[in-house]
Amino acid sequence: MTLVVIDPGHGGSDPGATYKSFQEKNFNLAISQMVHDRLLSKYLVDVVLTRETDKTVELKKRTDLANAIKADFFLSIHNNASGGSGFETFIYNGQVPNETIQLQTTIHNKIANDILKKYTILDRGKKRANFFVLRETKMNALLIEVLFVDNDQDLMLLKNPSFIMDISTVIADATALALKLPVKSQPIEDTLYKVIAGSFQDQENAEQHLSKLIQKGFGGFISSTVVDKKTFYRVQVGAFREKNNAEDLVEKLKRAGFDSFILVEGESPSPSKPDKGYPIQGNAILTAKQMDAYTRSINPGAPDLAVLYLSQGKKYNIRGDIAYAQALHETNFFRFTGDVKAEQNNFAGIGATGGGARGASFPNESTGVLAHLQHLHAYTSTAPIPAFDQKVDPRFDLVTRGSATTWQALNGKWAVPGTTYGQLILGLYKNILEAALKEIEKERSKLKNTIENLEI
């Protein structure tokens, strides 16, 4: 399946262009999230965002991510500044394949025909530049400059929720057209948890509220409904199959100062087909020594946690060596460079929903590992916590029990959107296996040489 990386420009301590208290990074994120949602809902495609919240992400980390997961297309979304007006797109000004040029032409022209004419926006053309994210990506890459934040006429459009919806929709559809993405068949109806950030009887009030959300980096749209013969305009900012993902978004909105609620639609899903992918349950293959050795080759100060993962994993019939790989992914090899800090003993990012949320804390390493394994147990099984253990995972009851029996089935559940989350964990696990195999081959060669040179 085609894999697209969407890169919301700037973020965190880097606001991008600023004008009259408006910051480019928030427009970039809102548009990127809506492009992401449109692609996933309408087309057969995998989509990954380089940032999902207002956080600082170095340019190299953005391109490293895209290169590591071997994306097929990299789309960086920005807004412009420094005197000017209008829309433009960029590809790298060095040597690029003809396919890159064709992709730019298709995407640019569709946006020009469907949006620029509709809103009387100046088309500044298809351009080339030596931008880092275009130069350092190993796949076709395109950077879009939607409008100029410091131009009053352009800013009026960026503050208009209808324009944000229109431009996001067309960027997604243009990308799908250029990449020849298949359209999804009609999905089977099941329970859907919609996050509503406001409900108004006056449509103009709803639009003003959505504009405030967009300026804070939240995407969304307005839908109308009739209750007791009265029309209400709801501001919807998300829809999820997993309740805990909807609850995480509600928490993010709350921290940003927006009240919201979850609207449940549809019936409970009927029994589904078995999850595809590599099972979470099963026996570990690696030894604690092999796991710790690999981690210390990257972080010499890493703690000795492999034994805990193997022993706790065995109790819950969970592959402790892969759970350990997940911990490496969540903690950046126990360097804790994200929101969660080392003293929390939270090796799975439990409750760390982004935007600076620190997540759960545990009194010691053993409890932290146990919480991790219990959280996996909640996803992969409907069985209760074993009688010999107390429940220490604070989010155990928020999980839809038995909803993910494979690592790939955690995509979009453990991490949002996390469309390749399970694959990233298994890729890291494979690296540990390969490193262990190399050491075994060295030992085998050493033993063989000793036997051959042995004088008896």
Instruction: Say whether the peptide bond before residue 417 is cis (omega within 30 degrees of 0).
Output: yes
Q: Are residues 130 and 103 in the same domain?
A: yes
| Residue 310 domain-assigned (yes or no) | yes
| Residue 206 domain-assigned (yes or no) | yes
Q: Are residues 222 and 370 in the same domain?
A: no
Q: Are residues 32 and 158 in the same domain?
A: yes
Q: Are residues 316 and 415 in the same domain?
A: yes
Instruction: Say whether the peptide bond before residue 269 is cis (omega within 30 degrees of 0).
Output: no
Q: Are residues 144 and 99 in the same domain?
A: yes
139 CA to centre of own chain: 19
Q: Are residues 161 and 297 in the same domain?
A: no
- How far apart CA 187 and CA 145 sit, in angstroms, is 33
- Residue 236: which of 248, 218, 215, 252 has the closest Cα? 218
- How far apart CA 213 and CA 54 sit, in angstroms, is 13
| Residue 382 domain-assigned (yes or no) | yes
Coil, strand or helix: which one is 42? helix
Q: Are residues 14 and 150 in the same domain?
A: yes
| Residue 441 domain-assigned (yes or no) | no
Domain CATH code at residue 174: 3.40.630.40
- State the residue range of the domain holding 416: 288-436
| Residue 456 domain-assigned (yes or no) | no
Domain CATH code at residue 202: 3.30.70.1070
Coil, strand or helix: which one is 166? helix
Domain CATH code at residue 310: 1.10.530.10
| Residue 230 domain-assigned (yes or no) | yes
Which pTM does this prediction carry? 0.55
122-128 long-range contacts, Cβ below 8 Å, gap at least 24? 122/85, 122/86, 122/87, 123/86, 123/87, 123/88, 124/84, 124/86, 124/87, 124/88, 125/88, 126/88, 126/89, 126/91, 127/88, 127/89, 127/90, 127/91, 128/90, 128/91, 128/92, 128/93
Q: Are residues 221 and 109 in the same domain?
A: no
Q: Are residues 125 and 257 in the same domain?
A: no
| Residue 213 domain-assigned (yes or no) | yes
> Which among 129, 154, 179 is the end of a domain?
179
- CA torsion sign, 341 to 349 to 277 to 249? negative
The size of the chain, in residues, is: 456
Token digits for 118? 């509709």
- Residue 41: which of 417, 423, 424 has the closest Cα? 417
Q: Are residues 139 and 218 in the same domain?
A: no
Q: Which of 88, 145, 242, 330 is catalytic?
A: 145
Q: For this structure, is 145 an active site residue?
A: yes
Q: What is the pLDDT along the chain (456 residues), one digit of tens a residue?
A: 899 999 999 999 999 999 998 999 999 999 998 899 889 888 999 999 999 888 999 999 999 999 999 999 999 999 999 989 999 999 999 999 999 999 999 999 999 999 999 999 999 999 999 999 999 999 999 999 999 999 999 999 998 887 898 999 999 999 999 999 999 875 555 677 888 988 888 888 888 888 888 888 887 888 877 766 778 888 888 888 778 888 888 888 888 888 888 887 764 444 456 788 999 999 999 999 999 999 999 999 999 999 999 999 999 999 999 999 999 999 999 999 888 899 999 999 888 765 556 678 888 999 999 999 999 999 999 888 887 888 888 888 878 888 899 999 998 788 655 678 899 899 999 999 999 999 999 888 988 888 888 877
Q: Are residues 252 and 397 in the same domain?
A: no
| Domains of the chain: total | 3
